[in-house]
């Protein structure tokens, strides 16, 4: 009798939303931390299954950012984002990815009041999404909460510099750290976040020397956005990078021109519908 083991054949999904992927091992938080000072980490925002599928093979991390407020929902800022929004979009991105570590933003009001509240909401996000970790904004003030979460098994990514959830206090989205006092405060924030146990941190919208100093001082990877090429990685809002918006911040480089492609495709579709050229015989069901 043959002793050759049988090959396990897995069912192949034909779903456009969730096709069977090639075997891939998802990047873990410890492996991300080990990239400090090594090959730069690639991170983009993602909010939907299909975008996650397209970006996943090329990214180390996918951030389900509360920037979905503006990008998906047309809100003026991130303050209005809810836990339900983050949970639903986070789960979608996890379903659409197999390689990148998925990190979900904690929305405004879900972690600031107490470490206990933060744990309740962070654990909910991890349970409902399957994400690898959460991201919180803030420095010295939020560091005890980061320590509380990490000691209880929740990986936390920090976020210092320009913190969009504090837009009402900051008075806008201008670059941070122009004065010596503010620059020193941002560096101290970053050191506190790293000491509290954050596995990585985003540095957003700061004068470049600040980002360089933080990257040199902290032992966790730094992810820049409007910071410095010397950070341990970079992140952008995908829709900005793809060129889907007319207006973007100074720190965005448009790597595509998707707005023009979408507008052109919609224009052609509208023309074909109005001229009755679509649908044609190729798109219709007719008896042979």
Under a CB-based contact definition with an 8 Å cutoff, are residues 240 and 250 in contact? no
pLDDT of residue 18: 60
Place of tokens 């069912």: 11
Half-sphere exposure of 142 (CA within 13 A, CB side): 29
Of 99, 121, 85, nearest in space to 43 by CA? 99
Numbered residues of the known binding site for Mg(2+): 66, 105, 137
Of 74, 117, 119, 68, nearest in space to 93 by CA? 68
Numbered residues of the known binding site for 3-methyl-2-oxobutanoate: 66-67, 105, 135
Which tokens in the block code for residue 46? 């993602």
Numbered residues of the known binding site: 66-67, 105, 135, 137
- Residue 235 CB neighbours (<10 A): 25
pLDDT of residue 13: 47
Under a CB-based contact definition with an 8 Å cutoff, are residues 36 and 219 in contact? yes
Half-sphere exposure of 168 (CA within 13 A, CB side): 7
Catalytic member of 84, 112, 116, 204: 204
pLDDT, one tens digit for every residue, the chain (288 residues):
444 444 444 444 445 566 655 556 899 999 999 999 999 999 999 999 999 999 999 999 999 999 999 999 999 999 999 999 999 999 999 999 999 999 999 999 999 999 999 999 999 999 999 999 999 999 999 999 999 999 999 999 999 999 989 877 877 778 899 999 999 999 999 999 999 999 999 999 999 999 999 999 999 999 999 999 999 999 999 999 999 998 888 888 989 999 999 999 999 999 999 999 999 999 999 987
DSSP E strands: which ranges in the chain?
Answer: 41-45, 61-64, 101-105, 133-135, 156-161, 200-204, 222-225, 233-236
Which tokens in the block code for residue 74? 């047309």
Place of tokens 């509240």: 117
Q: What are phi and psi of 132, to 5 degrees?
A: -85, -25
Q: Calculate the CA 190 to chain-centre distance.
A: 19
CA distance 211 to 187: 8
Q: Transcribe 92-158 into DSSP letters.
A: HHHHT-SSSEEEEEPPTTSSSS-HHHHHHHHHHHHHHH--SEEE--BSTTTHHHHHHHHTTT--EEE
- Residue 204 is a catalytic residue: yes
Cα R_g (the chain), whole angstroms: 22
Which tokens in the block code for residue 157? 């990514």
Q: Which domains does the chain have, with CATH numbers?
A: 24-257 (3.20.20.60)
In the chain, count of helices (H) and strands (E)?
11, 8
pLDDT of residue 247: 82
Of 43, 195, 34, nearest in space to 105 by CA? 43
**pTM value?**
0.89
Q: How far is CA 153 from CA 86, 106, 156, 182, 197, in A?
A: 20, 16, 9, 32, 11
pLDDT of residue 249: 82
Q: What angle do CA 13, 14, 19 make, to 5 degrees?
A: 60
CA distance 40 to 58: 12
């Amino acid at each position: 009798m043959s002793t050759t083991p049988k090959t396990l054949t897995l069912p192949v999904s034909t779903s456009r939303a969730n096709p069977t992927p090639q075997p891939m091992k998802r990047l873990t938080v410890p492996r991300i931390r080990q990239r400090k000072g090594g090959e730069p980490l690639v991170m983009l925002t993602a909010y939907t299954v299909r975008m996650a599928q397209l970006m996943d093979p090329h990214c180390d991390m996918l951030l389900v950012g509360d920037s979905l407020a503006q990008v998906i929902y047309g809100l003026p800022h991130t303050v209005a984002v809810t836990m339900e929004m983050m949970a639903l979009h986070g789960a979608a991105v996890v379903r659409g990815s197999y390689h990148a570590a998925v990190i979900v933003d904690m929305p405004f009001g879900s972690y600031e009041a107490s470490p206990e509240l933060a744990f309740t909401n962070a654990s909910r996000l991890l349970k409902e999404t399957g994400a690898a970790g959460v991201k919180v904004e803030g420095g010295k003030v939020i560091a005890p909460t980061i320590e509380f979460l990490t000691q209880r098994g929740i990986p936390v990514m920090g976020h210092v510099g320009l913190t969009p959830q504090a837009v009402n206090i900051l008075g806008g989205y201008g670059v941070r750290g122009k004065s010596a006092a503010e620059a020193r405060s941002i560096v101290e924030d970053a050191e506190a976040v790293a000491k509290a146990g954050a596995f990585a941190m985003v540095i957003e919208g700061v004068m470049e020397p600040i980002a360089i100093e933080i990257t040199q001082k902290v032992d966790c990877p730094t992810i820049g956005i409007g910071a410095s090429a010397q950070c341990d990685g970079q992140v952008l809002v995908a829709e900005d990078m793809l060129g889907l918006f007319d207006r973007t911040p100074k720190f965005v480089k448009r790597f595509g021109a998707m707005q023009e492609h979408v507008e052109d495709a919609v224009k052609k579709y509208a023309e074909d519908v109005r001229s009755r050229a679509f649908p044609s015989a190729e798109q219709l069901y007719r008896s042979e």
